Amino acid sequence: MTRKRADDSSALERDADDPFAPAANAGENGRRSIDWDAFSHAFAPVALRTRAIEVSIATDRDVYERGESVAVGIEFRNRLPFPVRLRTDSPERWTWTVDGATAASRLERSIPDRPDVFSFARSERKRFSREWPQRIRIAENEWKPVDPGRYTLAARVNREDAADRGLVAATEIEIRE
């Protein structure tokens, strides 16, 4: 009597329509991949996720002559070794301001009033740069030069509770005559 081994038989063959058959491209040993973004969002508390994100803003100098452009660097960094997603108040995930004027403008901006998310891979840094020409927008086609003095530039995740959750950073510059 000859014995057949299971792998020599057709016992392990599956019909393609069989819902219980492993996928052909399931990967090594049929392991399933995990959506770590969704996993961390579901299981990491909001307090941990918001503390994970570090916000920083910097300029290339502290003092500028009147009329010089100010180079601004903004960075958001996930300090955790797993992905993090933060809910935002709108599709505009972050904003920057000059003395409270969003994007150096006194005009109301039309941004959709629907929440979105700001996603970070594990230990990811997101860097942005802006240039401020020392002007504040006061009308659709009108910009007013600022006077000499001290100005606060800030960046924040676009959430109502950003300041309470440490998702804001600021720096101060001086403009001389």
140-162: average pLDDT: 95
The length of the chain in residues reads 177
Q: Is the pLDDT of residue 63 over 60?
A: yes
Query: What pLDDT score does 82 carry?
Result: 87
The pTM of the full predicted model, rounded to 2 decimals, is 0.75
Domain boundaries, the chain: 54-176
Confidence of residue 159 (pLDDT cuts 50, 70, 90): very high
Confidence of residue 77 (pLDDT cuts 50, 70, 90): very high
Query: What pLDDT score does 99 carry?
Result: 96
The type of residue at 30 is: G
Query: What pLDDT score does 30 carry?
Result: 47
Classified as helix, coil or strand, 165 is coil
Instruction: Tell me the pairing of strands 149-157 and 168-176.
Output: antiparallel
Query: What pLDDT score does 56 carry?
Result: 98
Q: What is the pLDDT of residues 83-139, one digit of tens each?
A: 999 999 999 999 999 999 999 998 887 778 899 999 999 999 999 999 999 999 999
Average pLDDT, the chain: 85
Q: Is the pLDDT of residue 76 over 50?
A: yes
Dig out the tokens for 50 from the structure. 């918001």
Confidence of residue 49 (pLDDT cuts 50, 70, 90): confident
Reported in sequence order, the residue ranges of the chain that DSSP labels E, i.e. its strands, are 53-59, 63-65, 70-78, 84-88, 94-98, 101-102, 116-120, 125-132, 135-139, 142-145, 149-157, 168-176
141 secondary structure, DSSP code = T
- The whole-angstrom separation of Cα 65 and Cα 133 is 11
Name the CATH topology of 54-176.
Immunoglobulin-like (2.60.40)
Query: What pLDDT score does 108 carry?
Result: 82
| % of the chain at pLDDT higher than 90 | 63
- Find tokens 């599956």 and name the residue: 14
